[in-house]
Amino acid sequence: MTIILRAEPLTRDAFAPFGDVIEASGSDRFTINQGLAERFNDLARIDTASEQGQTNISIVRGAPQPLPVSLKLVERHPLGSQVFFPLQDRDWLIVVADAKDEPTPQSLRAFKARGRQGINFARNIWHHPLLAPAPFGEFLIIDRKGPGSNLEEHWFSEGERPILAE
């Protein structure tokens, strides 16, 4: 039986088991620059220093994947966290697995983020690769660079692939 997945709204509480939601809201804010700016501070736990790792800044430009989309795989990064922050104000989708070791189609959850919401996947959280909005999406990525193997993939067999639908 094919699993049909639908996205729930992205909130800090709902996403807490998987990492951080990065958005201009919440209580840890203060005024800076002689009153000319407001800073929403310390929005994510950046975890990139393991095994001589350093913080890496990149831009990813992704092709759109219109719904419904068949989810072929999830991946995780055993050595560090990974931020995706959208550079356009358009909704986008995030898929994670609520599973410690072996992800299953049943363990997937999907979130719909607004264009002003970024996320930080905690280390070792299984997630689908970027699902960019149409016509294309650019994201600022903050993750780890350094020695060691930082990517694991889990592919679903063709018969078990879940469908992410509207």
Closest to its own copies by CB, 39 vs 100, is: 39
Which pair of structure tokens corresponds to residue 72? 């072929």
CB of 1 to its own copies, least distance (A): 26
The alpha helices in 58-103, defined as continuous H runs, are none
Which pair of structure tokens corresponds to residue 15? 């996403």
β-pairing, 137-145 with 118-121? unpaired
Residues 78-97, mask of contacts with its own copies (x by CB under 8 A)? -----x-x-xxx--------
End-to-end CA, the chain: 19
β-pairing, 73-76 with 152-155? antiparallel
34 part of the interface to its own copies, by CB under 8 A: yes
60 part of the interface to its own copies, by CB under 8 A: yes
- 129-107-69-149 Cα dihedral, nearest 10 degrees: 20
Closest to its own copies by CB, 42 vs 160, is: 42
Among 1, 13, 27, 36, binds its own copies (CB under 8 A): 36
At residue 148, the 3 state secondary structure works out as coil
Number of amino acids touching its own copies (CB under 8 A): 46
Q: Report the interface residues with its own copies, using CB under 8 A.
A: 22-24, 32-34, 36-44, 46, 48-49, 54-63, 65, 72, 83, 85, 87-89, 116, 118, 120, 129-130, 132, 138, 140-142, 145
